[in-house]
Amino acid sequence: MPYTNIFGHRSMVFDSYRNKAYCRALEKVVSPSTTLMDLGAGLGVHGFNAARLGAARVLLVEPEPVIEIARKIAADNGLENVHCLASRVEDLELDEQLDVIVSVFTGNFLLTEDLLPSLFYARDKYLAPGGRLIPDRARMEVVPVSAPEYYRKHIQSWSESARFFAEHELPIVDYDQVRSFAANALYFDSADIFATQQLALPVPLMEIDFNTATEAACDSEIEVKVCHDGVCHGWLGWFQMHLVDEWLSTGSAAQPTHWRQVFLPLENPITLKTGESLRFALKRPEFGEWTWTTGYGEQSQRLSTFLSQPLSQSRMHKASMNYRPELSEHGTAAKWLLTHMSGELSMEELTEQVVQQYPSLFASKAEALKFARALASKYS
């Protein structure tokens, strides 16, 4: 995850367009009696703004170590009404109800990162009756695009690898086998990098009401009318979020934010004429794979991120709901370590003992220590 260190937070702290929109929303709901949670607070931008606007009590909830920096920032700025909680919201035990929950749990193309289930959990457990969510809903939008240069670089180039190596006087190897895997991947980038031409008007694909939703999944179909002749290389997607009474778009026509649009490619580009129809379906269960289908006349192309990697029998077996998992040797060692993380043994002692228990598993004591520390960091 990009949020474990400071580098992943800079783009959000200095995203003035997004932060101003959030601040306008906060101005409309924060009063001197407001109790507010900044969920997934990071460095606390929105919680600090709520505190400056006069909220009675602000809780910054963030499981990553950056919360300690936010704690120092709150102290440096004299924000005594800000309280930092180093925890996932699922692990909290609060005895209060909140007037407002503000979050940035909308990933690129809304569902990426699978953060919305945690928002729904916080809503159900801590939001007071009549309380407000910021944002309170969001919608996904798509448009068919022509993106010849981007498509050539990321997908078609695999089919042209032999010519590339010949032109650069390198030993010729044909990498055409990679092309299919590349076509089944999602590509996140900024609008200027994609440099696309939209071949139809953008259309809403799905909308989620955060006040009532119980899952963050997509299973939607739309049909668009082509309004520009051109070669369609895939679809461009983004989302809009609703902040009290205004919509903030992360689309290519809006002012740039730290969010990225997504390119969902076709395996074989389609030549389109104005007035023709194009169908699009997108399926993506919570914590699952993205599958997109494009229909054009009698033709159809179906792609999926599940196919962006080679399919082995083992991988297919493990993806089945009928799979009955058994612990590997590493899993057994992890189980042993977690069982013995009872507060009685030091990391030094745990490492020595796990090496004794599983002498063939670790090449060195340092490797065992790294393994143990990763478990302790996540679960202790």
CATH code: domain of residue 199? 2.70.160.11
Has residue 112 been placed in a domain? no
Same domain assignment for residues 182 and 67: no
For strands 291-296 and 35-39, give the pairing. Answer: unpaired
Number of domains in the chain: 3
User: Which residue among 313, 338, 368 closes a domain?
Assistant: 313
* CA atoms of 114 and 40, how far apart (whole Å): 13
Residue 320 is assigned to a structural domain of this protein: no
Among residues 178, 294, 170, which one has the least CA distance to residue 226?
A: 294
Q: What is the pLDDT of residue 319?
A: 78
pLDDT tens by residue, 302-354: 999 999 998 878 777 777 888 888 999 999 999 999 999 999 999 999 999 99
Angle at which helix 329-340 crosses helix 347-357, to 10 degrees, equals 140
- C-alpha to C-alpha distances, 376 to 27, 96, 345, nearest whole angstrom: 41, 30, 12
Last residue of a domain, one of 55, 78, 104: 104
The CA distance from 129 to 109, in Å, is 30
CB 70 within 8 A of CB 45: no
In a shared domain, residues 249 and 362: no
Q: Where are the beta strands (DSSP E) in the chain?
A: 35-39, 57-61, 82-85, 98-103, 127-134, 137-146, 187-189, 197-198, 203-209, 218-225, 230-243, 246-249, 261-272, 277-284, 291-296, 299-304
What was the pLDDT predicted at 1?
47
The rounded distance, in Å, linking the Cα atoms of 17 and 27 is: 16
Same-domain check for residues 58 and 33: yes
Question: Residue 107 gets which letter from DSSP?
Answer: B
Q: 133 in a domain, yes or no?
A: no
**Average pLDDT rounded to a whole number, residues 191-196:** 88
pLDDT digits (tens, 9 = 90+) for 350-380: 999 999 999 899 888 999 999 999 999 888 8
pLDDT digits (tens, 9 = 90+) for 218-276: 999 999 999 999 999 999 999 999 999 999 999 989 999 999 999 999 999 999 999 99
| pLDDT for the residue 22 | 98
* Bridge partners of residue 35, in order along the sequence: 57
4 has a pLDDT exceeding 90:
no
Residues 89 and 144 both lie in one domain: no
- One domain for residues 160 and 66: no
Residue 118 scores a pLDDT above 80? yes
Q: Are residues 193 and 257 in the same domain?
A: yes
Does the pLDDT at position 3 exceed 70?
no
8-55: per-residue pLDDT in tens? 889 999 999 999 999 999 999 999 999 999 999 999 999 999 999 999
109 domain-assigned: no
pLDDT at residue 204 greater than cutoff 60? yes
Cα dihedral sign, 19-25-28-31: negative
Residues 188, 280: one domain? Answer: yes
Tokens of 175: 């990498």
Check residue 323 and give its pLDDT. 85
Domain assignment present for 201:
yes
Q: Which pTM was predicted?
A: 0.89
Q: What mean pLDDT value characterizes the chain?
A: 94
**Which residue range(s) make up the domain with 236?**
138-313
Tell me which of 79, 104, 129 is where a domain ends. Answer: 104
In a domain, residue 115? The reply is no
The verdict on residue 263 lying in a domain is yes
Distance CA 284, CA 273 (A): 30
Same domain, 229 and 369: no
CATH number of the domain encompassing residue 22: 3.40.50.150
335 and 309 in one domain? no
347 and 248 both lie in a single domain: no
Q: Is position 114 within any domain? A: no
The pLDDT score that the predictor gives to residue 314 is 79
**Same domain flag for 195 and 81:** no
pLDDT higher than 70, residue 2: no
Helix axes 329-340, 365-379, angle to 10 degrees: 60
Q: Do 34 and 165 lie in a common domain?
A: no
